[in-house]
Amino acid sequence: MESSLDFHKKNKKGKIEIHATKSISTRKDLTLAYTPGVAFPCIEISRNNRNSYEYTSRGNLIAVVSNGTAVLGLGDIGAFASKPVMEGKAIIFKKFSGIDAFDIEINEKNPDKFINIVSSLEPTFGGINLEDIKSPDCFYIEKKLQEKVNIPIFHDDQHGTAIVVAAAVLNWIEITGRDIRKVKLVVSGAGAAAISCTRMLEKIGIRRKNVFMCDSKGVIHSNRKDLNEVKSVYAVRKENLKTLSDVVQDADIFLGCSVPKVLTKEMVQSMSDNPIILALSNPIPEILPSLVEEARSDAIICTGRSDYPNQVNNILCFPFIFRGALDVQATEINDAMKIACIKEISKLAKEKIDFIVYEEGWNQGYLKKKHPIIPNLFDPRLIMRIAPAVAKAAMISGVAKKPIENFAVYKKNLRNYVREGYFFMRSIFLAAKRKNNIILLTEGESEKILYCIDNIVHMGLSKLIIIGRKSVIKNKIKKLKLKIRIDKDFSLINLDEKNYEKFLNKYFKSSRARKILTKNDFEKKYTYLTTLIGSLYLYENRVDGMICCTKSYNDTNDIKLITDIVGFSDKKMTEKINIVSTPNTNFFISELKDDENISVEYLKEMISIVLKKVSFLHFLSDIFLPSLEDLKDFNLDLQSRVVDLISVFRKYYPSIRITQKESCEIDLLGIARNKNISDVLLFVPKKISCKINFDLLKTFDVSESTVGSILVGTNKPVHICHKKNSVQCITNTCIYLMA
C-alpha cells in the first residue's frame, strides 16, 4: 500500500501532464500559436467543423470519462476517488497506442444529466472511452450518447472484456472442434461485463436458448419478479433451475464476471468434456487454476490475472481499436469493427511467440499453458494487426470520414507506436533462434539475471548457463515467483561453500600460471572469480558467449581479465559500443579513448573492428567521424591525418556516407526522421559520448540504451552490463550475443 501511495504522490503528483507539440521560443512563434495567428485556423474550422481534425489535436485525443459508480474492486467510490484509475487509463492509451487522453471525472449520477455533460465535450475530443459506470446505467448512457454525437463512444468495461472473451472462445471452438451453435454457456454475474460478453458471444454464433445466466440471487428465470429490462432478456423458462450448481452441469463454457470462489471443483467435474472456464473476477477469480487442474486435466482456463496463463485483459483491445477508429475519423465503433478486432486477437494467439521482453514484477505463468488462446498483452504486433483491421472495417461499414488510401504506408507509420528497439531487436531475435548459441551469465544470483532467464525461456531460446550458489538462486526464484527450473531451463555452475574452494584453487592456479590475478584479488572481490570462470569456459569453447556485470561503466579490470584469457580477435585492442534504437534509426555509438597519443592507425583499426561487428547484423547507411574541433585534445598527427583516413574509408566502403562533423552540430532528431538513413555509426571522444547518449535518450524518451556495452575486438563474444541496466537491456544484450 505504501509503495503505491508513494508512487502516486512523489515528484509531480499523479501520473499525467501536458507537453507542447510546437515550440514557443520566439515572438514569431507566439504570434502563430496564439493571437493574432491563431485566428486563421479558427476561421477554417468555423467554415467546416471537420477541419478541427487538421488544425488541432482532436484527431488523436480521447476522453476517459467516469462518474466513479462502479470502480473495479472498489464499487461506488465517486468521481473524486476514481481519478487515479482514469489517469492510469490515460497513460495506457499513450503507452500502447500513442493516443493522448484526458481523464474527466464527472460528479453526476443522473444518467440523463451525465449524457448532456459528456455530449457537450464533442468539439474537444476524437472519441470517448466510458469507464467504471454502474449497470444498467452504462448501457443507457452509451446508447444515448452515441445517438447524440458523431465520435466513437466505447464503454470499455463492456466491450473490451467482451472482445477478448470472444477471441478466446473462437480459439477454444477451433481447438476442440465444437459447433458453436450447440455449446452451452453458463454465466456467473449479470453486470455490465457479463451482459456485454454474452451479447458478443451471441454475435459470433452462440444461441440464446443455450445461455444460462446467474446473478447474486441465483439463476435468472422467467418466474422472478426482480429482473430489470437488461436481465429479463436472458430469463430461462426452466423454473426448476435455481442455483449455479444446477445449470453448470454439462456446460461447455463457464464465464465468470462475478465474485471470488463461486465455482467449486465439483461443479467443474460436472461440466462437459474439454470445457473452457473464464474466471474473470479480480483479484481472486471464481475458481483458482490450480483447483481446476486438480478437478480435471482437459479444461482450458482463462483469468483476469497476469500471473496465470491466458489473461483476459482489455488492454489487448481498447488502445488499438481506438487507434484504428481515430485514424479514419470514425463516427462510432460498430459491431463490424469489434469483430475485426476479435479476429485479429484470435489469429495472433495462434502464432509463434514473438520477441517480447518483460521487466521485473511480471510473472507470465506461461509454462503450464496447454493452449495459447489469448495473445500476450505486451506483444508489439497487436497494434500492427488490430488498428488496420479496425480501420478497414470502419471504411467498409461506412462510418469512416477519412478513409486510408494506402494501407502499406499506414502500417509502416504504426511502427512509431511500437516499443522502442522492437524492430531492431526482432531481427536479432530471429537470427538467435536459428543459431541457438549457449550463453554464460556470470552474475547468476542477481534478480535481474533471473528475470532475464525467464524472458529467454519464454521466447523459446536456448538454455543458459549461470554462475552462483544453488541455495541462493533457488530461494530467489521462489521469492520472485518465477517458473524457471534449474537443470531444465538453465544450467548452473554451483559456487556453494562445498564447491567454492574447489573452484577457487582450480582457477587460482590457472590465473597464476597466466600471471593474471593473485589469491588476494579473489578474496577481496568475488566477481573476479565468476568472471574468470566464465572467461575460461569461453576460452575452452564450452559456451559461445558471455555476459558479465560490473559496478562501473569503466571497469577496466574486468576487461583486462577477459582479454588476458579469451584473447583478441585480430589487433590487440577492444572497444565498447552502445546501441540506442529509435523508431526509424539505430544509433551505434563508439567512443575514442581519452588518450592524447592515440594514432591514426589505431583509429583506422578501431573503425574496422567496429564496422565488422556492426555490419554483421545491420546495413550501415552513415558514419559520423569526429571533427578537428572534437580532436583538439588529441595529438596533431591524428588531426592532420584524419582527413586522409576518411578518403581511405570512402574508397573501401563506397555505399556508406562518411561525414566528418563536430559532435555538437550533429542533428540527432533530424537523422532519426530522415527516411534515407537507417543505421548510423558515431565515433566520438569519450567525454562527448556520454552527452550523445543522454541527448538521444532524452530526445526520444528512451530510458536507456537498447543494448548494453558490446565489447568488440575479443576473440569470443563478450558483453559487459552495468548493474543498473534494466532487465530489458540485459535480455536484449543476451539475445544479441546469441545471434
Q: Does the active-site annotation cover 89?
A: yes
Neighbours of 117 (CB within 10 A): 16
Q: How many whole angstroms separate alpha carbon 428 and alpha carbon 37? A: 49
Q: How many whole angstroms separate alpha carbon 164 and alpha carbon 343? A: 10
Give the closest residue to 578 by CA, choosing from 570, 586, 569: 586
For 38-42, 399-403, 596-600, which range has the lowest pLDDT when averaged over its residues? Answer: 596-600
The pLDDT of residue 368 is 45
* β-pair type (586-592, 575-581): antiparallel
Sequence-distant (≥ 6) Cβ neighbours of residue 47 within 8 angstroms: none
Whether 591 contacts 685, CB under 8 Å: yes
Give 573-612 pLDDT, tens digit per residue: 566 777 888 777 888 887 766 555 566 666 777 777 777 7
Check pLDDT > 70 for residue 457. yes
Give the closest residue to 589 by CA, choosing from 655, 688, 675, 665: 688
The pLDDT of residue 634 is 57
- Cell numbers 571497469 label which residue? 555
Give 229-238 pLDDT, tens digit per residue: 888 888 887 7
Check pLDDT > 90 for residue 427. no
Give the closest residue to 255 by CA, choosing from 318, 193, 207, 209: 193
Q: Does the active-site annotation cover 34?
A: yes
The pLDDT of residue 526 is 56
* Catalytic residue of the set 9, 13, 83, 89: 89
% of the chain at pLDDT higher than 90: 46
| Mean per-residue pLDDT, 53-67 | 97
The pLDDT of residue 366 is 44
% of the chain at pLDDT higher than 70: 84
Q: How many whole angstroms separate alpha carbon 278 and alpha carbon 312? A: 8
All three cell numbers of 436, joined, read 541457438
Give 640-663 pLDDT, tens digit per residue: 556 666 776 777 777 777 777 766
* β-pair type (545-550, 153-155): unpaired
At CA 512, angle to CA 510 and CA 515, rounded to 5? 115
Which uninterrupted H or E stretch holds 499? Answer: helix 497-513
* β-pair type (679-685, 464-468): unpaired
Give 695-738 pLDDT, tens digit per residue: 777 777 666 777 767 777 777 888 888 777 888 888 888 888 88
* Catalytic residue of the set 9, 34, 143, 148: 34
For 21-35, 90-104, 389-403, which range has the lowest pLDDT when averaged over its residues? Answer: 21-35
The alpha helices in 177-243, defined as continuous H runs, are: 192-203, 229-232
Q: Omega before 36 cis (within 30°)? A: yes
Sequence-distant (≥ 6) Cβ neighbours of residue 669 within 8 angstroms: 699
CA distances to 473, 477, 501, 723 from 495, in Å: 11, 17, 9, 20
The pLDDT of residue 367 is 41
Q: How many whole angstroms separate alpha carbon 645 and alpha carbon 604? A: 7
Q: How many whole angstroms separate alpha carbon 73 and alpha carbon 550? A: 44
589 versus 209: which is more confidently predicted? 209
The pLDDT of residue 67 is 97
384 pLDDT tier (thresholds 50, 70, 90): very high
Best-predicted range by mean pLDDT (208-222, 563-577, 654-668)? 208-222
Check pLDDT > 70 for residue 501. no
At CA 266, angle to CA 264 and CA 269, rounded to 5? 115
374 versus 717: which is more confidently predicted? 374
| Mean per-residue pLDDT, 364-391 | 80
629 versus 638: which is more confidently predicted? 629
Whether 302 contacts 375, CB under 8 Å: no
Neighbours of 308 (CB within 10 A): 21
For 37-46, 117-126, 644-653, which range has the lowest pLDDT when averaged over its residues? Answer: 644-653
All three cell numbers of 485, joined, read 527450473
The pLDDT of residue 204 is 96
For 60-64, 102-106, 664-668, 725-729, which range has the lowest pLDDT when averaged over its residues? Answer: 664-668
Kindly tell me the burial class for residue 615, based on how many C-beta atoms sit within 10 Å of its own C-beta (0-12, 13-18, 19 or more).
Answer: middle
Check pLDDT > 70 for residue 196. yes
Strand intervals (E) in 280-349: 300-303
Residue 157, phi then psi, degrees to nearest 5: -60, -35
HSE (CB half, 13 Å, CA atoms) of 467? 25
The pLDDT of residue 520 is 56
512 pLDDT tier (thresholds 50, 70, 90): low
Q: How many whole angstroms separate alpha carbon 420 and alpha carbon 415? A: 9
Check pLDDT > 90 for residue 102. yes
Cα 302 off chain centre by: 21
Mean of per-residue pLDDT scores for the chain? 85
Best-predicted range by mean pLDDT (362-376, 530-544, 613-627)? 530-544
Check pLDDT > 90 for residue 169. yes
Domains, the chain, ranges and CATH?
2-146 (3.40.50.10380), 152-419 (3.40.50.720), 420-567+730-739 (3.40.50.10950), 569-713 (3.40.50.10750)
End-to-end Cα separation, the chain, in angstroms: 42
517 pLDDT tier (thresholds 50, 70, 90): low
